[in-house]
Structure 1
């Protein structure tokens, strides 16, 4: 693990979430990983850069596929949690780096075949990061942006169910009506990722969707909320246990015997340099 200056990053954004992030964030569907392997011919030893890696939700399966992965995140707790997972869960090559994407240097990396970002691109200086990636991604390479619908605040409101409404109610009771994010509040970027990509070197864009069905326990729902920037343990502070008890109480009033059934979508945006024919 190497360290970099992260002073421009809001260190409170995911404060206290790393253990919950590793345990409760839903994995990316195996089919989405296979799609990236096929799309970019990710044979053994191919260098991959994973920006905003969290605790390794993309880095680990890509390393299992044989890639050499540079897993980069500005949150020290996330990277430390990822390194703790590695001995038990990983047979592969992951190099963990504490850094903002904006602080990376081209000299630190080999020519990269693929840069992945799992629900992290919106936290970055997107145009600046794309300009940097144009310097380090090889001619036949590209970018993959993965995002899921597991958030109760997903933009399209795709996650449905009474448990979603109950969870939103409890969070707003404890943290207010505005969606929180670290030391401030959150609003979606005005430009979509596709619009930002269209104005970059990586303007040949394709998209596909993978759908999964899961059954969530009450513990799963609570753990997922505590893994987020909008309901982090740091934001809840000394009300964390009270929040956990209250959400547990209300969810148990409505939980079916089999658990909360959810249909979740993972969208994969693949972008190559113009004329590359992204699929």
Structure 2
């Protein structure tokens, strides 16, 4: 009898499709993916691949970003309701109003934002290159940074440069508490703490390393350290443990779980391939305008 994994692989071949999954996806989804990574890494991978059908296991803004970079391809999001609360904390209309209050400001948006918001920005950034992107803006220019207040204040503190920072945040990272770090450090005294810069200040101050998910994977593999406390969404532990079986990784808290990232399961991946749904298309001129902010980032990176 065929397993659901077998059916997915068979349909994938029939459709000429590829499956890519974000580092926060459920373990079983990451297990059947052809590639795993962070949101921009996966969007760039989608653009490079020969396959015309991309099943993007992530949340809506990520599939949008893939569609922006590959408008000619069929980008499928297995659950159309897998969204991002942070991305929903700012609209294009709100950003236009803020821009009107600060004419001449350079607008930087975190990749965790909608296509409509990206279309209103000068530069896009990721958690791994945000510092370099902000540093590229001339010092005589104001910077509006949206939508993540924690990443924005982290950049502001390191660069020593005032910015106009939107008050958005990731609910999952905001649920991580300082007592979680203290408890895990007590239980695992030899472990170092890797935290995502989306975390609140109190968590960032307790971390040994502030890294994006991709940087965490790279650091864990290259480091002589053997024990790690992971202060980000729990889904990353699957990849870290698979890639480094000789090392130990501890979740900072069971609360560090994104319900939107867990909406996709194997059944929905199968349905996406069976029905070729749900296709994500970014209309013009939003697509072209949003692509400019992403391409401007890529040139600087």
Higher helix share: 2
The TM-score normalised by the length of structure 1 is 0.31
TM (normalized to structure 2)? 0.30
